[in-house]
Structure 1
Amino acid sequence: MGRRLIHFVAQVALVLFFPVLSHKGIFWRYKVMGLAFTARNRGKFKRMDKDVFLSSDLILRGPEFIEIGRGASVGPRCSLTVWDVGMNSGRVCLKIGDDTSIGEGAHITAANSIQIGNNVLFGKHITVSDNNHGDTTLAAVEVPPPQRPLVSKGPVVIEDNVWIGDKATILAGVTIGRGAIVAANSVVTHDVPVACVVAGVPARLVKRME
């Protein structure tokens, strides 16, 4: 009941105090609605630390398998989905570290395990996935894609202080080393070493930071 009351009060405040057409009003509307959404859904997560912010339009599935660290934020039009299909049953499948910022439009989907470290910065419209619909055998292609079982080539690990540019895609079985930079529009299919820059499709090493 307490969370519902918070949500109701927030909605009333938006109508009374924040004009929809002003830039400042839009910003505060976004903040207040996000804080209300975060408070209302806090108890659904496996763990959520202090000062977390979730945008109110977040698409959420399987929050009981998700941990979010202190000060982390998830921007507008994102989706966090965990599919409990027996690969990692009963364990945390998606972990977001302290002070990590997930940018607008990110799609993070786990059926095995995705571990995102501390102080990671996501740009906009980034995809992180540890699973696919079926494998690449001839037998699998006879089954309509929505009916194929989820399979995973391995967990995804994104270590601390990583920066991922807009529209990058991180695929299953990949570890991105501490301090690495993934350029915009890259598709990461193999491990990225510590303190390196990768770019391209598929992503390749372009620089080692010294």
Structure 2
Amino acid sequence: MIDILGNVLLRCMNVKIHLIGGKFLSFPIVNICKDAKINIGRNVLFKKGVGQYDYRNSIGCRSKCILSIGNDCTFSSTIIDVRKSVTIGNGCTFEDGVVIIDSDAHSLDFRDRRISEKDEANKINAAILIGDNVHVCIGSLILKGVTIGNNVRIGPHAVVTKSIPDNCVVEGNPARIAGYV
């Protein structure tokens, strides 16, 4: 089944989508697998970036995963790849080129990657939870299993591999606390 929702093309099979008020200023690439659940809050904006980040937002939801986006969020050329669960709070901003992925996407053992069933069975997926009023700067990467607190600023090109408490500024690769707000 193919549905047009706003100007978003969704390829759906037994997918539950709850869209309250998303706004799409560019045509995002949306890939949704069987039994995925997507909730998008009010006043959520998806737009295309500029310069080297002049590409569309991309949302991939694998089978039986959950993507939940709160109210008043903005995404600019952001990639969200959900294999388990990604929850984003209210009032969050994601600048150009941010990548959010809750999985290794493949086994870390090269021998397992040769056999797709083994590869699938041995990859690690872990939920991501992003609090309210989080600002993620250009080119940052948020990896599996992290919880990001409320009122956090993630600096440009930071790689978030560990959880971040409330009211912090983090920078670097790997991301480390650089200050407090």
Q: State the match for 2:85 in structure 1.
A: 113
Q: 2:72 aligns to what?
A: 99
Q: Which position in structure 2 is the counterpart of 1:22?
A: none
CA distance, structure 1, for counterparts of residue 163 and residue 107 of structure 2: 21
Structure 1, unmatched stretches of 5+, are 5-34
Which of 121, 131, 137 is equivalent to 2:103?
131
- Shift in CA distance, 135/182, structure 1 to aligned 2, threshold 3 Å: same
* Separation in 2, partners of 1:78, 1:152: 24
Aligned equivalent of 2:179: 207
Match of 1:57 in 2: 27
Give CA deviations for 1:89-138 in whole Å, capped at 9, x if unaligned: 3xx611111011011x2100001000001000111010000012322235
For 2:119, the equivalent position in structure 1 comes to: 148
Number of residue-to-residue matches in the alignment: 165
Mapped to 2, the partners of 1:74 and 1:60 lie a distance apart of 12
Query: Which has the higher Rg, Structure 1 or Structure 2?
Result: 1
CA contact (8 A) 1:70 1:99 kept: yes
For residues 149 and 125 of structure 1, what CA distance do their matches in structure 2 show? 27
C-alpha distance after superposition, 1:6-59 (max 9, x if no partner):
xxxxxxxxxxxxxxxxxxxxxxxxxxxxx9515x76x97610003x20244210
Instruction: Name the structure 1 match of 2:51.
Output: none
> Which stretches in structure 2 are left out of the alignment for 5+ residues?
49-55
Q: Residue in 1 aligned with 2:132?
A: 160
Query: Please, which moves more after superposition, 57-66 or 188-197?
Result: 57-66
Would you tell me which structure has more helix in proportion to its own residues? 1
TM-score scaled by length of structure 2? 0.81
Q: Deviations over 1:71-98 (max 9, x none)?
A: 11111201011011xxxx3xx6111110
Describe the shift of the 1:95–1:195 C-alpha distance in structure 2 as closer, same or farther (beyond 3 A).
same
For residue 43 of structure 2, give the secondary structure of its aligned residue in structure 1.
Answer: coil
Which one of the candidate residues 41, 58, 63 is aligned to 1:79? 58
- Equivalent in the alignment of 1:46: 17
Distance 2:45 2:108 in 1: 36
- TM-score, length basis structure 1: 0.70
Q: Percent identity?
A: 25
* Two-structure CA RMSD over aligned residues (Å): 2.6
Kindly provide the CA deviation profile for residues 119-168 of structure 1, in whole angstroms up to 9, marking residues without a partner as x.
Answer: 00111010000012322235325x179x9327334100110000000000
Q: Determine which structure has the larger strand proportion and give its number.
A: 2
| Structure ranking higher on relative contact order (CA contacts 8 Å, 6+ apart) | 2
Residue identity in the other structure for 1:169: L
Q: Tell me if structure 2 keeps the 8 A contact 1:195–1:208.
A: yes
Counterparts in 2 of 1:75 and 1:56: CA distance versus 1, 3 Å: closer
Q: 2:146 aligns with which of 153, 170, 174?
A: 174
